Amino acid sequence: MKILGFFGKGGTGKTTLTALILRELVKRNEGEVLAIDADANECLACLLGAEGTPTLSDMLQKYKRQREESPELTGIDIFQNLFETLLMEGEQDGYDMLIMGRGEGAGCFCAVNDLLQAVFEKTVEGEAYKYLLMDCEAGVEHIARKTSGRIHDAVIVTDASKVSLDTLKRIKDVAAEVGAEIGNYYVVANKTRPDMLEKVKETAESLGFKYLGTIPEDPNFTDIAYEGKTVFDLPDDSPAVQAAKKITDQLLSA
């Protein structure tokens, strides 16, 4: 299974790129795909049209109740049964959806993060998925908590601002500090003027990251957002779709 994690400063478009890459994998029929919306805002589910899918935080509440009601069962048995049900309920057309959901209150995500980590270790890696795409929270939070510690390809979306470009180095530094297992680092530019693309490329390459290109401005996104449609409704000749095809080619050939 190839695990791709999508990172970046808030507002750079990492969720958009995650959705575009998933769209491309599904269109190509490249194999079983699992999409994990690990951002509490749940924007990926919206872009994919998977709103209403049960979340990991929903599962956590059920898990707690069943532990209290069935003390004779082991925690892992309850977890396995609930998670298998969660995956079935998350089946979409061409891919499976797994939503992290919100924390238990007042900004606490500890239990949900532990559950997400357990998903990787106990269940997801044993499933017959060829690709796992994870849309992470903005910044480096998931790496710092090690919930994204097993990533074959880290795809960082950035614009040309200093704050966003500084995030590239911070992600690499934090990954090293916590011992995250990340095979390759890639950078994609978004919301960036053509004359600033070279700056993004140079910064990426100076850190040892591979620059994959840019997502161009695409009026089709405005149209589908206004109409409440999804990335699957984008025309095949859409500029963003064409750019995602090229980026996907590079990711799959690595």
Question: pLDDT by residue (tens digit) across 202-212?
Answer: 999 999 999 99
The first and second tokens of residue 65, run together, are 């109740």
- Residue 19 clears pLDDT 60, i.e. is over it: yes
CB contact set of 128 (below 8 Å; sequence gap of 6+): 32
| pLDDT, tens digit, 9 for 90 and up, residues 173-203 | 988 888 888 899 999 999 999 999 999 999 9
What's the mean pLDDT in 23-37? 91
Of 121-130, 185-194, 239-248, give the lowest mean pLDDT range.
Answer: 121-130
d(CA 212, CA 148): 21
| pLDDT, tens digit, 9 for 90 and up, residues 37-71 | 887 667 898 899 888 787 777 777 777 777 777 77
Residue with tokens 């919206």: 46
Residue with tokens 């995030």: 167
What's the mean pLDDT in 221-225? 85
Q: How many percent of the chain have pLDDT more than 90? A: 43
What's the mean pLDDT in 229-254? 94
Q: Sorting pLDDT into bands at 50, 70 and 90, what band is 7?
A: very high
According to the model, what pLDDT value does residue 228 have?
84
Strands 210-215, 181-190: pairing kind = parallel
Q: Sorting pLDDT into bands at 50, 70 and 90, what band is 76?
A: low
Q: Sorting pLDDT into bands at 50, 70 and 90, what band is 106?
A: very low
- If one compares 215 and 223, the residue with the highest pLDDT of the two is 215
d(CA 157, CA 187): 6
According to the model, what pLDDT value does residue 243 have?
97
| CA distances, 44 to each of 58, 136, 181, 194, 212 (Å) | 18, 10, 24, 27, 21
- If one compares 111 and 182, the residue with the highest pLDDT of the two is 182
Where do the domains of the chain lie? 2-253
- Residue 103 clears pLDDT 60, i.e. is over it: no
Of 82-96, 115-129, 145-159, 236-250, give the lowest mean pLDDT range.
Answer: 115-129
What's the mean pLDDT in 206-229? 92
Q: Mean of the per-residue pLDDT values for the chain?
A: 83
d(CA 28, CA 173): 35
The CATH H-level superfamily of 2-253 is P-loop containing nucleotide triphosphate hydrolases (3.40.50.300)
The first and second tokens of residue 13, run together, are 């478009």
